[in-house]
Amino acid sequence: MTTTTLDIAISHRVAVVWMARETVRNAFNEASIAELTETFTTLGADPDVRAIVLAGKGPAFCAGADLGWMKRMASFTHQENRADALKLATMLRTIYECPKPVIARVHGDAYAGGVGLVAACDIAVAAIGAEFCLSETKLGLIPATIGPYVIRAMGANAARRYFLTAEKFDAGEAFRLGLVHDLAPLRNLTCASTLFLEP
């Protein structure tokens, strides 16, 4: 599998999918959306893979949508914007419905669509210093495509608050709300085969 926005490592039947756009804090664009969809489809069907870890290289897990991509989208037609939204929805559904367990390894910032990625995973483990924010309202947008996953993960009342206020919240609050399942110092975000270690 050849990718330009992801690094994929498989060891001990666990695949680690590293988002590898460090210069933009792993913000996703049309290329990374397509590659995440294809990668999770392929790994989900691979009998030699028993679990998948989703992680981010560099200082952040995922900053949401790439602003350069969003600026280009401003000139798109209604049909083109709808098609892009459907591709994002397909990516999230592919991760959510993956037949293999998917574990989010969260460090640094998880903003906007990055929160959606966390919510689409089966299990989320966050570094104690991780920060979360549903920041779309600051851009005059609503977190529509990620909304169903975030609501399932943290509950409707909490989601309504953070959708509207775009407040930052820390890993402890994410744990309290159920968005993440466990917390650890970044150096301890490991599994049996040490696949969660920093890249």
Q: Where are the alpha helices (DSSP H) in the chain?
A: 30-45, 67-73, 78-96, 113-120, 147-154, 156-165, 171-177
Distance of CA 174 to the CA centre of its chain: 14
The CA-based angle 50-55-60, given to 5 degrees, is 170
Q: Is 136 a known active-site residue?
A: yes
At 2, the amino acid letter reads T
- Listed in sequence order, the residues at least 6 apart from 145 whose beta carbon sits closer than 8 Å to its beta carbon are 85, 88, 89, 92, 113, 116
Residue 117 carries which DSSP code? H
Q: Which is the catalytic residue, given 80, 136, 167, 173?
A: 136
DSSP structure string for 145-160: TTHHHHHHHH-HHHHH
Catalytic residues: 136
